[in-house]
């Protein structure tokens, strides 16, 4: 069972390591754009900064005021791992099709356990390490994922399964998609992007 960080360590700041899955949303201009989404919480990060709220209090009738997040008697707060290697392991059982990790400064009240922190506020400081991989039905190498989720018209890929082992065309597509994804993430979040 996961140990909930409960020892107050700081009213200043702590560097922790966060992970997100990257979801592709339709932006106001009709084009796709990437969003960083927490793996356990499903909270979208619209910018590089986030303030904790207690969703559990709202769902389960917990008894603490909203301003108290993270509350000692609750598991609410913004989580971060204490080491870079643990940054993704605790968020996901396996890599999502599109994922990212980054150092994140946790501020306000910060609680710790032996492996992670939870805080009142967080700011992604980067660089944002982005991984493009495979995760069951959300595989970036499957044609239906490419058509449905990446917004590539079916006429440009047809029934072709995008598989880097199939040659230069596939490798070119993946590289082109990755470059576009990195540029859009950098534009939205203002962080340096590195491939994972």
Q: Domain spans of the chain?
A: 7-133
What separation, in Å, do the N-terminal and C-terminal C-alpha atoms of the chain show? Answer: 29
Which has the higher per-residue pLDDT, 43 or 177?
Answer: 43
| 190/172 Cα distance (integer angstroms) | 26
| Length of the chain (residues) | 196
Average pLDDT over residues 31-45: 85
Q: Are 103 and 34 in contact (CB under 8 A)?
A: no
Q: pLDDT at residue 15 above 50?
A: yes
Q: pLDDT at residue 149 above 50?
A: no
**pLDDT over 70 for what percent of the chain?**
63
Nearest to 139 by CA among 158, 168, 162: 162
- The answer, as to whether pTM is greater than 0.85, is no
Helix (H, G, I), strand (E, B) or coil at 38: strand
Around 23, how many Cα atoms within 13 Å sit in the side-chain half-sphere? 13
Neighbours of 117 (CB within 10 A): 26
pLDDT of residue 130: 87
């Amino acid at each position: 069972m996961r140990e909930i960080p409960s020892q107050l360590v700081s009213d200043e700041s702590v560097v922790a390591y966060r992970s997100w899955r990257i979801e592709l949303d339709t932006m106001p201009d009709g084009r796709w754009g990437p969003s960083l989404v927490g793996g356990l919480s499903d909270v979208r990060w619209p910018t590089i900064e986030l303030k904790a709220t207690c969703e559990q209090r709202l769902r389960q009738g917990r008894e603490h005021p909203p301003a108290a997040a993270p509350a000692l008697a609750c598991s609410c707060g913004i989580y971060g791992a204490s080491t870079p290697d643990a940054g993704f392991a605790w968020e996901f059982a396996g890599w999502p099709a599109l994922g990212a990790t980054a150092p994140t400064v946790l501020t306000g009240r910060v609680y710790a356990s032996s492996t992670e922190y939870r805080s009142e506020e967080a700011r992604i400081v980067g660089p944002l390490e982005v991984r493009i991989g495979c995760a069951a039905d959300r595989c970036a190498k499957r044609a239906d994922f490419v058509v449905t989720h990446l917004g590539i018209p079916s006429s440009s890929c047809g029934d072709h399964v995008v598989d880097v082992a199939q040659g230069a065309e596939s490798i070119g597509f993946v590289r082109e998609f990755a470059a576009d994804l990195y540029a859009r993430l950098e534009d939205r979040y203002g962080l340096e992007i590195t491939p994972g």
